[in-house]
Amino acid sequence: MGLLPSWVESANEPGCDFPLNNLALGVFDTDQGPRCGVAIGDQIADAATLEAIGLLDLGAPLLTHPSWNALMAAGPDIWADFRNQITALLHEGAPKRAQTAPHLHAIQGATLHLPFTVSEFTDFYAGRHHATNVGTMFRGADNALPANWLHIPIGYNGRASSVVVSGTPVRRPWGQVKTPDESVPRFTPSQRFDFELELGAIVGQSSTGPVSVAQANDMIFGYVLLNDWSARDIQAWEYQPLGPFQSKATATTISPWIVMRAALDPFRAPPPNRDIPLLPHLADSGDDFHDIALEVALSPKGGKAQTITRTNTRELYYSPAQQLAHHSTSGCPMRMGDLLGSGTISGATPDSRGSMLELSWGGQTPINLNGTPRAFLDDGDTVIFHGAAIAPDYRIGFGPCDGTILPALPNPYAP
């Protein structure tokens, strides 16, 4: 299948993130209050209004609230119906073009909000190069991968309350830190604040018991880019024995557009080679991975954005479906609106690493940022993720996922 042509001409241009094939879902505001919208070219189709005036009929009003949760809850048949109806309205030669056209708004100038209400947030650790890099730095090359790593997708629960939409500034956190050569800890603004390049999977259907990998795949509604901001110095001191906590709780930024699973189906990819077969409950059920190109640009305050890494979601060792299946094994109820971060996606080469921790190798080999050495994030830095699945004549893009670092507040506990 090639490009689906739309009467919205910008959607047909090469390099556009939002052709008719995509139909990414956001919540936008053009000073009339936040509403559900669908990205098309450089425009947003006001889906809430299209539903309200009857051009979109999903059997029940699902877009009356400014979030896509109600559509998610309606289930996969409605997801497909929704895509068919929006496609029919926006396709080249669409009979209802004239009625639809007044409900398009430029993306530029619109305020984008979180596209869904996050029920709970889980962050995995499913990138093998990332786990190997971090393990090598923390525990040495001989013990880089934890013993369980090739057998289960390691993950930990995060904070849904800290998930923010692209563009939200991120305040450098305070926290307790202690380096190995210090005798006592101190309370300080983080000096090793970092990004993590991840893919976020959105659970669109609930479950009450264990689900298979194939079932889990069907439960996934869509995907976002995800930046799991990380305070490495706080993390190093706090993470034993119960895992990361405050180091990951300042913010997690997601891209403003949900790319639905169906849009990425043409870009499905096979699993990686496995040194050790997975147990049956986690076995690969098919081409559950995706070929999505990712890159990160870093723009220092007043400076020029520079691409500092390029990688691909094919570097994941566990698919989002395997992450979700594992998440359910103990009977953990999974809920519509749950967000699963993949873990940092690093490639094999130094220029494809998905965090400053890895790019600067724990600060030992700073990168060259417009001629200046840089180990971690500075105040005023803007970190920008881009991601797209790329076909010969179109691409399925996510739109930018960015955040700017604000300086730490004065000591919030000063007497």
Residue 345's alpha-carbon distances to 67, 185, 371, in angstroms, are 28, 31, 26
Query: How far apart are alpha carbons 368 and 363 in whole angstroms?
Result: 12
User: Please, which residue, 149 or 289, has the CB nearer to a second copy?
Assistant: 149
**In terms of CB distance, is 135 or 303 closer to a second copy?**
135
Which of 97, 159, 310, 314 contacts a second copy by CB under 8 A? 159
- Given 241, 302, 392, 410, the residue binding a second copy (CB under 8 A): 241
Please list the residues that pair with 127 across neighbouring strands: 316
Nearer to a second copy, 241 or 371 (CB): 241
Judged by CB under 8 A, the chain residues 256 through 295 that form the site for a second copy are 276, 279-281
Among 240, 273, 302, 392, binds a second copy (CB under 8 A): 240
Q: Which of 103, 129, 130, 326 is catalytic?
A: 130
Contact 247, 239 (CB under 8 A): yes
By CB under 8 A, tell whether 156 contacts a second copy.
Answer: yes
Query: Is position 178 an interface residue for a second copy (rule: CB under 8 A)?
Result: yes
Q: Is 14 in the site for a second copy (CB under 8 A)?
A: no
129 is catalytic: no
Residues in binding contact with a second copy, number by CB under 8 A: 66
Q: Which DSSP helix (H) or strand (E) runs through 322?
A: helix 320-328
> What's the min distance (Å) between Cβ of 227 and a second copy?
15
401 with 271: CB under 8 angstroms? Answer: no
| 46 labeled binding residue | no
Decide: helix, strand or coil at residue 69: helix
Helices (H), 91-212: 97-100, 128-139
Residue number with CB closer to a second copy (87 or 136): 136
183 binds a second copy (CB under 8 A): no
Minimum gap (Å) between residue 293 Cβ and a second copy: 27
Q: For residue 225, give the H/E element and its range.
A: strand 220-228
Residue 87 or 132: which CB sits closer to a second copy?
132
Other CB atoms within a 10 A radius of the CB of residue 301 amount to 11
Q: Does 210 help bind a second copy (rule: CB under 8 A)? A: yes
Instruction: Give CA–CA dist 255/8, Å, rounded.
Output: 23
- The amino acid that residue 233 corresponds to is D
- C-alpha to C-alpha distance for 366 and 319, rounded to whole angstroms: 31
Q: Does 212 bind a second copy (CB under 8 A)?
A: yes
Buried b (16+ CB within 10 A) or exposed e, 208-229: eebbbbebbbebbbbbbbbbbb
Two structure tokens written together for 260: 């639905």
* CA–CA separation, 325 and 81 (whole Å): 26
The verdict on 174 binding a second copy (CB under 8 A) reads yes
Q: How far apart are CA 377 and CA 232, in angstroms?
A: 11
Residues 114-133: x where in contact with a second copy by CB under 8 A, - otherwise, as a string: -----xx----x--------
- 228 vs 126: CA distance, rounded Å: 14
In whole angstroms, the minimum distance from the beta carbon of 71 to a second copy comes to 21
Q: Which of 185, 270, 286, 407 is close enough to bind a second copy by CB under 8 A? A: 185
Tell me how far apart the terminal alpha carbons of the chain are, to the nearest angstrom: 65
Choose the binding region for a second copy from 13-21, 26-34, 236-244, 308-316 (rule: CB under 8 A): 236-244
When asked if residue 331 is in the footprint of a second copy (CB under 8 A), the reply is yes
Q: Which amino acid is at 211?
A: V
Residue 125, marked binder: yes
Closest to 27 (Cα-Cα) out of 115, 119, 118: 115
Annotated binding site for Mg(2+): 228, 248, 252
- Name the residues annotated as catalytic: 130
Annotated binding site for substrate: 125, 139, 235, 239, 344
Query: Using CB under 8 A as the criterion, which residues of the chain lie in contact with a second copy when the complex forms?
Result: 119-120, 125, 135, 138, 146-148, 151-152, 154-162, 171, 173-176, 178, 184-187, 209-210, 212, 231, 234, 237-247, 249-251, 276, 279-281, 326-327, 329-335, 338, 409, 412-413, 415
